[in-house]
Amino acid sequence: MALKNNTADVIIIGLGAMGSASSYYLSNEGVSVLGFDTYDPPHKLGSSHGHTRVIREAYHEGISYVPIVQRAYELWHEIQNYSSKKIIMEFGGLYLGSDGNYIKDAKLSAEKYKIPISELNYQEIIDKFRVLNPPENFQGLLEFRSGAVFPENSIEYFLENSKSNGVRHKINEKVLSWEKSSDSYKVITNKGTYFSEKIIFSSGAWIKNLLPQVNIPVKIERQVLLWFEPKKNRELFLSDSLTNTGWDLENGLEFYTQPIIENKGFKVAMHHNGENISSDNLLREFNQNDEDIIRGFLEEYIPLANGELIESRVCIYTNSPDYDFIIDFHPDDNNIVICSPCSGHGFKFTPAIGEICSNMILGKKVQYDLSEFSIDRFL
């Protein structure tokens, strides 16, 4: 129930994945919302781009994530029913490794929540997926519901539908500062001054700049996404024939791939171990070293994929020290929700986290245990 153009019940700072989803679910509740973004989402300057992102259910990062990602699956499919664009696909995912925690922890999640999986030995892996070349001591864990979600399409959906519900988005407008002002909050941007009763911070790599008093200990990591045209047997790289793959290598590195979807090429990236950078210097272009690292992985483990490079993107991870999420109230104020960072594995959760943030800021019960995502663990 906004009284003026510069007033709202809730201000959201950052309209990427979590901010746009929070905007959408708040708007479904009839809440007056003002959303701000320094750029024009969906854009290529943050963490929520790259055509497709992996979605998976047998979560090796922690059992506590599983109920949230299961809710995300429900919401993604609900959104797909209304969207004319592709939002989610399910075609399977294969974890590969030897004796590390990657497969072991994914199996724990699967066992607790009765997630359908199939364990494969080396021979079964290469028989089923002929383009893969794992070491003979590698095992595989096949998860049937894994697949892809589409970040640009999803953010467009959240923003367009929340706008239809009355949300006002202030794009290309940078938040400079904010402060408590009597019983409300004053938010100052490069274009104006605004007021709200509550705030959601979902600003990713820029979270430290906006909340210096909380001193959230995050690091920003540069990540490169590359797409290749396979050397031959292209049909074996399509999503009808090949799943996502996640590789837990014995040298400590992790890589992931996604099959050819909508003719965009075979997607490959290293997961973590990228260069730490600042929010003011995000190094948007990829370089020869980036390509050499990815091609080295492909030549050893998926050699037929190591063909022509057809596209590249640079994105960023905003990492907490333990690589878990931060979803919590401000330490001193329950009228402020902080939803960042997601440490490079958050997009698949987007609608569920948007729903969570909406419920939190409205004082509604949240059905998940969020204690592992508390800010207090760093204070």
Q: Per-domain residue ranges for the chain?
A: 7-47+152-214+323-378, 85-148+219-319
Express each pLDDT in 231-240 by its tens digit: 999 999 999 9
Question: Which member of 49, 51, 71, 145 is catalytic?
Answer: 49
CA distance 70 to 349: 9
Please, what is the Cα angle at 21 between 15 and 27, to 5 degrees? Answer: 100
* Model confidence at 244: pLDDT above 90: yes
Q: Give mean pLDDT, residues 194-223.
A: 93
* pLDDT category of residue 2 using cuts at 50, 70 and 90: very low
Question: Which member of 52, 243, 245, 318 is catalytic?
Answer: 52
**What integer pLDDT is reported at residue 5 of this predicted model?**
83
- Residue 348 is among the residues annotated as catalytic for this protein: yes
Question: Which member of 104, 174, 219, 271 is catalytic?
Answer: 271
- Residue 318 is among the residues annotated as catalytic for this protein: no
Express each pLDDT in 69-120 by its tens digit: 999 999 999 999 999 999 999 999 999 999 888 999 999 999 999 999 999 9
Question: Which member of 145, 267, 339, 350 is catalytic?
Answer: 267
| β-bridge pairing 333-339 and 193-201 | parallel
CATH number for the segment(s) 85-148+219-319: 3.30.9.10
Cα-only R_g, the chain: 21
Question: Which member of 60, 348, 350, 357 is catalytic?
Answer: 348
- Class of the CATH domain delimited by 7-47+152-214+323-378: alpha beta
Helix (H) or strand (E) holding 355: helix 350-361
End-to-end CA distance of the chain: 36
CA distance 157 to 155: 5
CA distance 219 to 284: 17
* Model confidence at 243: pLDDT above 70: yes
Q: Give mean pLDDT, residues 61-67.
A: 97
Tokens matching residue 47: 């963490």
CA distance 275 to 248: 19
- Residue 222 is among the residues annotated as catalytic for this protein: no
For residue 34, the one-letter residue type is L
- Residue 272 is among the residues annotated as catalytic for this protein: no
**What integer pLDDT is reported at residue 280 of this predicted model?**
72
Express each pLDDT in 163-196 by its tens digit: 999 999 999 999 999 999 888 999 999 999 999 9
Q: Give mean pLDDT, residues 25-37.
A: 98
Question: Which member of 38, 51, 53, 145 is catalytic?
Answer: 53
- Residue 271 is among the residues annotated as catalytic for this protein: yes
Task: Concatenate the DSSP letters of all residues of 293-343 into one string.
Answer: HHHHHHHHH-GGG-SEEEEEEEEEEEE-TTS---EEEETTEEEEEEE---T
**What integer pLDDT is reported at residue 3 of this predicted model?**
45
* pLDDT category of residue 376 using cuts at 50, 70 and 90: very high
* 278 Cβ neighbours under 8 A, 6+ residues apart: 220
* pLDDT category of residue 282 using cuts at 50, 70 and 90: low
- Residue 315 is among the residues annotated as catalytic for this protein: yes
**What integer pLDDT is reported at residue 318 of this predicted model?**
93
* pLDDT category of residue 1 using cuts at 50, 70 and 90: very low
